[in-house]
């Protein structure tokens, strides 16, 4: 696609209100990053710059591509923040929609201990309480299914008490010029976040990835980090789903402010996932150093990066020790890499998710502005998987996936009282 093909989305009152110049990283001059600022969706005379939304793009040795990706991610955030039209919403109870809705037994759940903790933002799901629903597409049966609107629309407002059963993030949102590829990428992100949540809470010691499995560009970026006294550790975080996932830990032992930080990626290949994870981690370096660590911890804060800044402080370096030891259990047997063809890749993903008992659903979030430039926006919802929560008091430790996945992978399973007590450092 032409790198300038999304430029018509950029204007002071457009989907993307501003785009920065693509600039090389201070760590590696071949890695370019670009940022996009997004206005609040709605009529032009009601839009305002909130600082809440933004897109970022990265590219290896191609500043034009970094800009293109930044605009595309800005478009994704724009669609994510747009509230569904009233005609798309149905208010009903799950009991009333039995057989027509995504089954409540699949929804993530907090434990009684979490729910009893003062400050916990989550409430148990009540199937007898009316909530808002939107329509999605079951990716296995290709049949329409009702999904709680709060799961499919991140910025849905106002939120009733009955709808406070989830922790809302951008997980599962994606845009692409190919509608099927958009769904693939949304599903990959949900799988990535599932792996990140499980490995952190269960403190899994993961196998390292051999240099021979890495692309030349990844090896070059790792070397650039090490020449700047930043150690890079790449771990195979592929779960029982068999979809290549990489967890990246960067450590700067001489940095008085940011000692450890992490990133992750799920892709078609382990090599591709590793490349994206390292690039993401390097791009976070400046961002995490810019803001102040939340005093006393990230509880009650609203910034996405507060947990990462808090955990990055040198005095909390010991919390990452479990990631520095050799794997105590063999990883799950690797399945074939995902095909490059979007249709085949999606079929493989749906098959692996169905084998694990998951029911993936996609909700179309495409706006008219995005459709005009050939983009499709989607939100993939897979509540059977473990959600990544950045709120320390709502980690959904009673969700069956948190204990079932490590057991399937051959790892020991920690009981709730022994789960990782530290806040999630993922940004």
Residue 3 — pLDDT band, cuts 50, 70, 90? Answer: low
**Residue that terminates a domain, selected from 27, 51, 81:** 81
Mean pLDDT of 352-374: 96
Q: What is the pLDDT of residues 202-261, one digit of tens each?
A: 999 999 999 999 999 999 999 999 999 999 999 999 999 999 999 999 999 999 999 999
Residues sharing a CB contact under 8 Å with residue 116, sequence separation 6 or more, in sequence order: none
Give 313-351 pLDDT, tens digit per residue.
999 999 999 999 876 655 556 678 999 999 999 999 999
Query: Based on the domain organization, do 100 and 151 belong to the same domain?
Result: yes
Q: Which residues of 46-67 are buried (b: 16+ CB within 10 A; e: fewer)?
A: ebeeeeebbbbbbbbeebebbb
**Does 72 share its domain with 164?**
no
Under the phi-then-psi rule, with left for phi > 0, alpha for psi from -120 to 50, and beta for the rest, what region is 91?
Answer: beta
Residue 341 lies in a domain: no
Answer yes or no: is pLDDT of 40 > 70: no
Tens-digit pLDDT profile for residues 402-416: 999 999 999 999 999
Listed range (150-164, 264-278, 299-313, 332-346) with the worst mean pLDDT: 299-313
Phi, psi of 248 (to 5 degrees): -115, 125
pLDDT of residue 41: 58
The answer to which of 47-51, 57-61, 366-370 has the lowest mean pLDDT is 47-51
Shared domain check, 97 and 59: no
Total count of domains within the chain: 2
Burial class from Cβ neighbours inside 10 Å (0-12, 13-18, 19+) for residue 325 reads exposed
- Per the structure block, which two tokens stand in for 62? 């191609």
Q: Do 107 and 169 lie in a common domain? A: yes
pLDDT, tens digit, 9 for 90 and up, residues 12-37: 988 999 999 999 999 999 999 999 99
Mark whether 93 and 77 lie in a shared domain: no
Residue that terminates a domain, selected from 47, 81, 115: 81
- Percent pLDDT > 70 in the chain is 92
Query: What's the confidence (pLDDT) of residue 2?
Result: 74
Check: CB of residue 312 under 8 Å from CB of residue 261. yes
The per-residue pLDDT for range 62-95, each reduced to its tens digit, is 999 999 999 999 999 999 988 888 889 999 999 9
Is residue 94 within 8 A of residue 127, CB to CB? The reply is: yes
Residues 117 and 18 in one domain: no
Q: Are 114 and 136 within one domain? A: yes
pLDDT confidence of residue 46: 38
Which band of pLDDT confidence, cut at 50, 70 and 90, is reported for residue 286? confident
| More confident: 52 or 161 | 161
* Phi, psi torsion values for 235, nearest 5 degrees: -120, 140
Which domain CATH number covers 116?
Answer: 3.30.1330
Q: Count CB-CB contacts under 10 A for residue 296.
A: 9
Residue 128 belongs to some domain of the structure:
yes
- Output the pLDDT for position 331: 59
pLDDT for residue 86 = 85
Mean pLDDT of the chain: 92
The pair of three-digit structure tokens given for residue 238, joined into one six-digit string:
């592929």
> Are residue 182 and residue 131 in the same domain, yes or no?
yes
Return the closest-CA partner of residue 169 out of 289, 14, 367, 305: 305
User: Which range among 150-154, 155-159, 379-383 shows the weakest confidence by mean pLDDT?
Assistant: 155-159
Mean pLDDT to the nearest integer, 251-273? 96
Report if residue 28 sits inside a domain: yes
66 and 123 fall within a common domain = no
Expressed as residue numbers, the domain containing 58 is 7-81
Nearest to 349 by CA among 192, 213, 221: 192
Q: Does 99 lie in the same domain as 15?
A: no
Statement to judge: residues 186 and 103 lie in one domain: yes
pLDDT band at residue 47 under the 50/70/90 scheme: very low
Q: Is residue 287 part of a domain?
A: no
Residue 179 included in any domain: yes
Is 296 a member of any domain?
A: no
Rounded CA separation 323/167 (Å): 26
pLDDT at 50 over 50: no
Share of the chain above pLDDT 90, in %: 83
Tell which of 28, 61, 81 closes a domain: 81
Residue 71 and residue 95 in one domain: no
**Domain-embedded: residue 426:** no
Flag whether 321 is in a domain.
no
């Amino acid at each position: 696609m032409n790198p300038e093909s999304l430029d018509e989305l950029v204007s002071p009152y457009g989907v993307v209100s501003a785009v920065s110049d693509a600039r090389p990283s201070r760590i590696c001059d071949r890695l370019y990053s670009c940022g996009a600022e997004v206005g609040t969706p709605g009529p032009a005379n009601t839009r305002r710059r909130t600082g809440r939304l933004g897109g970022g793009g990265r590219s290896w040795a191609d500043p034009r591509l970094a800009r293109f990706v930044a605009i595309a991610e800005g478009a994704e955030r724009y669609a994510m923040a747009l509230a569904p039209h009233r005609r798309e919403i149905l208010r009903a109870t799950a009991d009333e929609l039995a057989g027509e809705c995504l089954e409540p037994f699949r929804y993530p759940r907090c434990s009684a201990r979490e729910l009893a903790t003062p400050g916990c933002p989550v409430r148990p799901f009540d199937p007898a309480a009316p909530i808002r629903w939107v329509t999605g597409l079951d990716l296995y049966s290709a049949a329409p299914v009702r999904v709680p609107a709060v799961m499919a629309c991140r910025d849905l407002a106002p939120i009733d008490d009955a709808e406070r059963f989830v922790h809302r993030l951008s997980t599962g949102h994606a845009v692409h010029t190919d509608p099927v590829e958009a769904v693939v990428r949304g599903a990959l992100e949900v799988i990535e976040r599932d792996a990140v949540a499980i490995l952190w809470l269960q403190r899994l010691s993961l196998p390292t990835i051999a240099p021979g499995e890495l692309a030349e560009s990844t090896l070059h970026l790792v070397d650039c980090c090490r020449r700047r006294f930043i150690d890079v550790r790449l771990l195979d975080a592929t779960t029982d789903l068999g979809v290549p996932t990489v967890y990246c830990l960067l450590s700067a032992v001489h940095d008085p402010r940011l000692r450890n930080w992490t990133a992750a990626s799920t892709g078609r290949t382990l090599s591709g996932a590793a490349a994206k994870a390292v690039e993401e981690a390097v791009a976070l370096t400046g961002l995490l150093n810019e803001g102040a660590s939340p005093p006393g911890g990230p509880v009650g804060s609203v910034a996405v990066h507060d947990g990462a800044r808090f955990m990055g402080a040198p005095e909390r370096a010991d919390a990452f020790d479990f990631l520095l030891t050799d794997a105590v259990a063999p990883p799950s047997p690797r399945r074939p890499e995902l095909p490059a063809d979007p249709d085949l890749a999606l079929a493989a993903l749906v098959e692996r998710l169905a084998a694990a008992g998951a029911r993936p659903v996609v909700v179309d979030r495409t706006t008219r502005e995005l459709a005009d430039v050939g983009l499709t926006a989607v939100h993939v919802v897979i509540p059977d998987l473990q959600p990544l929560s950045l709120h320390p008091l709502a980690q959904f430790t009673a969700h069956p996936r948190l204990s079932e996945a490590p057991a399937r992978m051959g790892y020991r399973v920690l009981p709730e009282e022994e789960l990782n007590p530290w806040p999630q450092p993922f940004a």
